[in-house]
Structure formats: C-alpha cells, structure tokens
Amino acid sequence: MNKQGEQIIINGETFVPLLNEYEIQKRVRELGEEISRDYRGKVPVFIGVLNGAFIFMSDLLKNVDIECEIDFFKLSSYGDSKISSGNVKLLKELNCDVNDRDIIIVEDIVDTGLSIKYIGDLFSKHTPKSMKVASLLVKPESLKYDVKIDYIGFRIPSQFVIGYGLDYQQKYRNLSSIYVLSE
Ligand code: 5GP
C-alpha cells in the first residue's frame, strides 16, 4: 500500500483521511448503546449486507448488550467502478427465518438508496415484526430514493470513500480509518 504520511495513493489518485479510528469506534459504541436501549427485552436479528458491512457489523455487535441473532446476505456491488451501476442483484440469500422477527439491516454506506430500497422490497415478501436500518455512513446529497435510515453513524459529502469495510476494486477494506478521494 502506497502510504505517504496521512495520504494513500492508489493508481495515481490521492485519498485523504475523513474519519479516524477513534471517531469511528466512539460513534459505533454510541449506536450500539442506542440500539440496545431501543430493543431491550427483544431478541432482534441483525442482518449485515456483505461485503462492505462486515467490520461495522462486528464492531457494532460488540457494543450491543442484549440477546440477538445475526445473519448476512450479499448484494452485487459497484464492481470495480466508483459509481453505482443502478442495478442490484442478490448474490447470497438469508439463512434465517425473518417472519415475525424484529430485524435490523446493517449497511456500510447509503449512497443513492437503491440497495436499501431493494432490501425493503425483498423483505416486504416476508413478514418481519419490524424492520429498521443502521448505516455507518450516509451521503444525503446523493439520495435518489425515499428510504428511511433509522441509525446513522455519519453523514458525509457525496465523494468516494474507502476503508473500514469499504473497498476500491475489492481492496483497502482492511483500513481501520475511512479515507476520501481528494478532488
Ligand atoms: P446505493 O445502493 O445506496 O447507491 O449504494 C450502496 C452501496 O454502494 C454500498 O453498500 C457500497 O457497496 C457502495 N458504495 C456507495 N458509496 C460508496 C463509496 O463511497 N465507497 C465505496 N467503496 N462503496 C460505496
């Protein structure tokens, strides 16, 4: 990895720090505590959206102190591009039965909102008792669909970000901070 001081250079493009590890961990802890309060006495199912949400899901769950279950499903992503293709496909189905359960969808980032809308439509075919969405990041200026995000980590500008689960050409998910493409 080509790190130059605080910056990361990838294929001649410069990424600069947006959120550091400390800021992310603090906010994730707050979200975990809020969700624990809201679901006290219930046993929700956290459903992570692969691949991007794997780190957020793991850190979030460590800060949730109520009984819960987890599952994952996988949607097609941007592929190797930096912009949404406008298409979503289901690549891995859920294993658990969500009927009559309180479910919390865990996303890494909501950009246009297409993925969350697709997920909402998918779950409308089942009958969960309730459904909420937690997303670490939201790009409010990019939203094109009317979607409700119940738990938001950070609102960020409409710029391409990497790290903490988020990839560029499938790499850089293992960075513990979040970096933004400098324009
Ligand atoms: P949406 O369907 O809301 O347009 O986009 C959601 C998905 O697009 C996310 O789960 C993520 O996979 C991808 N995505 C959106 N914005 C970014 C970004 O800035 N960086 C990366 N690496 N992926 C993004």
pLDDT tens per residue across all 183 residues of the chain: 788 888 999 999 999 999 999 999 999 999 999 999 999 999 999 999 998 999 999 999 999 999 999 999 888 765 556 666 667 777 777 777 888 999 999 999 999 999 999 888 888 888 899 999 999 999 999 999 999 999 999 999 999 999 999 999 889 999 999 999 997
Annotation marks residue 100 as catalytic: no
- Interatomic CA distance for residues 135 and 35, integer angstroms: 12
Indicate if ligand 1 lies below 6 Å from the C-beta of 160.
Answer: yes
- Interatomic CA distance for residues 174 and 1, integer angstroms: 11
Which segments of the chain are extended strands (E)?
2-4, 7-10, 13-19, 45-50, 69-75, 90-92, 102-110, 130-138, 151-155, 161-162, 178-181
- Interatomic CA distance for residues 183 and 181, integer angstroms: 6
pLDDT confidence of residue 83? 62
pLDDT confidence of residue 53? 95
The CATH architecture annotation of domain 21-169 reads: 3-Layer(aba) Sandwich (3.40)
pLDDT confidence of residue 161? 97
- Interatomic CA distance for residues 91 and 134, integer angstroms: 21
pLDDT confidence of residue 77? 60
Indicate if ligand 1 lies below 6 Å from the C-beta of 78.
Answer: yes
Q: What is the pTM of this model?
A: 0.93
Q: Please report where in the chains the tokens 């960075």 appear, as a residue.
A: 175
Among candidate residues 118, 73, 78, the one with its CA nearest the CA of residue 92: 73
Residue 138 alpha carbon to ligand 1 centre in Å: 9
The encoded tokens of residue 95 equal 């294993």
pLDDT confidence of residue 96? 72
Among candidate residues 106, 90, 113, 102, the one with its CA nearest the CA of residue 153: 106
- Interatomic CA distance for residues 53 and 39, integer angstroms: 21
pLDDT confidence of residue 19? 97
Domain coordinates of the chain in residue numbers? 21-169
- Interatomic CA distance for residues 61 and 162, integer angstroms: 22
Indicate if ligand 1 lies below 6 Å from the C-beta of 135.
Answer: no
